[in-house]
Structure 1
Amino acid sequence: MVDLGLAGSRVLVTGGTSGIGLAVAAAFLAEGAAVGVVGRSPERMAAALAELEAGHPGADVVGVVGDVGEEESLRAAVDTIAGRLGGLDHVVGSAGIAGELGAAVDAVPAAGFLEVQRVNVAGPFLLVKTALRHLRAGSAPTCTLIGSDSGFVAVPGMLAYNASKGALVQLTRALSVELHEPFGIRVNSVCPSIVDTPMAREGLGRDSWEGVGYPVSTPEDIAWLVLSIASPRSRAVNGVSLLADHGYHARSAFPA
């Protein structure tokens, strides 16, 4: 077995009640970390905690309902979890929304566009801002954000989402520069293509991925990458937005 050096660490995961965030929380628990999750839905929070506790009996896990796009709501959730866990060593920003898909630019409501930026861009910023004082006191602290290949490539009908994930790539770089030298905090992002999550199924209108003609990752695939980057063994990795798209970004779209 590979020792990632995460046993005993204290971890906070936003968007931790489903999809990638839930898989990340479970993976940290499996490594012996204590985990706090933040999510907006009390019902999904209760179901997620029940699943995590059943899968990891005796593990130290706590959940707090909060909105990542509202500073005071998120600050209260972060401080509650940090207090419960005795501090924070790692935070993972997995909360995100897809927004309206399939609409052309002149049909995208301004309010809908801004809501995607509020959750997908302001949310990670506020996570780092509100967790910073705890991370400063943490052990080999890291912040890992969940981006997307949509921050590097684009398709019609995903304007708000593309813009938000492109911003996340630069936010990762900026935070990594600002926080590493004075505080030793590493900031990276993991940017998958399609992952089999409830959000992806709903957004793309799919009940199954069978026969789609392209690879689909599992949430556990992405969770492994998050833990690998957060590991103290990856101490040289900072400011990286890791594409996890099965190599599709390397393919030319030209027929020649």
Structure 2
Amino acid sequence: MTDIDLQLPTRVAVTGGASGIGLACARLYRSAGAGVGLIGRSATRLDAAARTLGEGGPAVVTAAADVADEAAVRAGIDRIAGELGGLDALVVSAGIDGEMGASVAEVTSAGFREVLEVNVLGVFLAVKAALPHLTQSPGSTITIIGSDSGFVSVPGMLAYNASKGAIVQLVRALAFELYDEHGIRVNSVAPSVVDTPMARRGLGDDAIDDPAFPLQSAEDVAWSVAYLSSGRARAVNGTTLLSDFGYTGRSSFPA
């Protein structure tokens, strides 16, 4: 069988690139020959992530920025685009889970606001900052990491559920405007629980390591992102791809 060329982008910026899904996406793109830029809050963690991608090969650029800080995000993406010679794709992976386990009465306004600023405003700001660069690259793409929590509600995750529901509609709104005006496709991947540092902090190692738990890897999600950003998905726009083993349509996970 002949290997299929996915026609992947060659210059990619990734927010939340220091770990988890973002880093897995960067690793996949780089292995396919792309230059990648990693954006995250901590310069130290970004440098450590960049080292895991190895030396030589395509360029790796890091830019420390809080995704809720418009000026910082713009400066970071401008730097990445400058060093890579442009941008063909943006992957928005930065996100937080907030006050996990808190009831409505217990959730603080500050905690709720922080989740929305990172998970929703941060997406908008990254897209806005990347747009001048993406418009210069025909067939460019934006892929946003959502969650099955945008479709089903889990108690104790009020702000997170709200933020991921917002992403579903944001993707639709962005997709049609940006495709009609610039030919830029916008899609999202909405995974169920992924084995990432954030999930382990929120759910605990015992739940994550339970063989019966329907768990996927960050690399599983990265392959979905890669497809949506590829030339082979040129007709896919405004879509949220559920990556959840089919469980979103059920009332509960299997015991």
TM-score where L is the length of structure 1: 0.95
Equivalent-residue separation in structure 1 for 2:25 and 2:193 (angstroms):
16
Deviations 1:36-73 (A, max 9, x none): 1101012211110100125xx32211111111111000
Within 5 Å, give how 1:84-233 maps onto structure 2. Answer: 84-206=83-205, 209-211=208-210, 213-233=212-232
Asked whether the equivalents of residues 144 and 188 of structure 1 are also in contact (C-alpha less than 8 Å), the reply is yes
Q: What CA RMSD, in Å, does the superposition of the two structures yield over aligned residues?
A: 1.2
Question: Secondary structure of the equivalent of 1:115?
Answer: helix
Contact 1:147–1:191 (CA under 8 A) maintained in structure 2: yes
Q: Distance in 2 between matches of 1:168 and 1:183?
A: 21
The Cα of 1:87 is off from its aligned counterpart by 0.6
Amino acid in structure 1 at the alignment position of 2:38: V
SS of the residue corresponding to residue 107 of structure 1 reads coil
Cα displacement (A) at 1:252: 4.3
Query: Could you say if the C-alpha distance between residues 139 and 31 of structure 1 is closer, same or farther in structure 2, counting changes exceeding 3 Å?
Result: farther
**TM-score normalised by L of structure 2:** 0.95
CA distance in 2, matches of 1:252, 1:155: 11
Counterpart of 1:6?
Answer: 8
1:239 and 1:167 map into 2 onto residues whose CA distance is 14
AA of the residue aligned to 1:51: T
Q: How far has the Cα of 1:120 moved from its partner? A: 0.2
Structure 2 residue identity aligned to 1:186: R
Match of 2:18 in 1: 17
Distance 2:172 2:83 in 1: 30
Deviating runs (4+, > 6 A) in structure 1?
Answer: none
The code of the aligned residue for 1:157 comes to G
C-alpha distance in 1, partners of 2:12/2:180? Answer: 22
Shift of 1:249: 1.4
Alpha-carbon spacing, 1:206–1:82, altered in 2? closer, same or farther (3 Å): same
CA positional deviation for 1:212: 5.5
Give the letter for the 1:130 counterpart. Answer: A
Q: 1:86, CA displacement in angstroms?
A: 0.7
**Distance of 1:38 and 1:211 partners within structure 2:** 32
* Conserved? CA contact 1:147–1:165, under 8 Å: yes
**Displacement of 1:182:** 1.1
Inter-partner Cα distance in structure 1 for 2:22 and 2:181: 28
- Equivalence for 2:30: 29
**Structure-2 separation of matches of 1:158 and 1:39:** 23
Helix, strand or coil: the match of 2:63?
Answer: strand
Letter paired with 1:3:
D
**Given that residues 120 and 165 in structure 1 are in contact (C-alpha distance below 8 angstroms), is that contact kept between their aligned partners in structure 2?**
yes
1:4 is displaced (CA, Å) by 1.0
| Matches of 1:152 and 1:112, distance apart in 2 | 22
The 1-side partners of 2:6 and 2:13 are apart by 17
Deviation of the 1:208 alpha carbon? 6.4
| Contact kept in structure 1, 2:138 and 2:183, CA below 8 Å | no
Given that 1:53 and 1:61 are in contact with CA atoms closer than 8 Å, whether structure 2 keeps it comes out as no
Shift of 1:207: 5.5
- 2:52 match: 51
Q: Any unmatched runs of 5+ in structure 2?
A: none
Q: Percent identity?
A: 57
Q: Which moved more, 1:16-25 or 1:39-48?
A: 39-48
> In structure 2, what is the Cα distance between the partners aligned to 1:251 and 1:201?
24
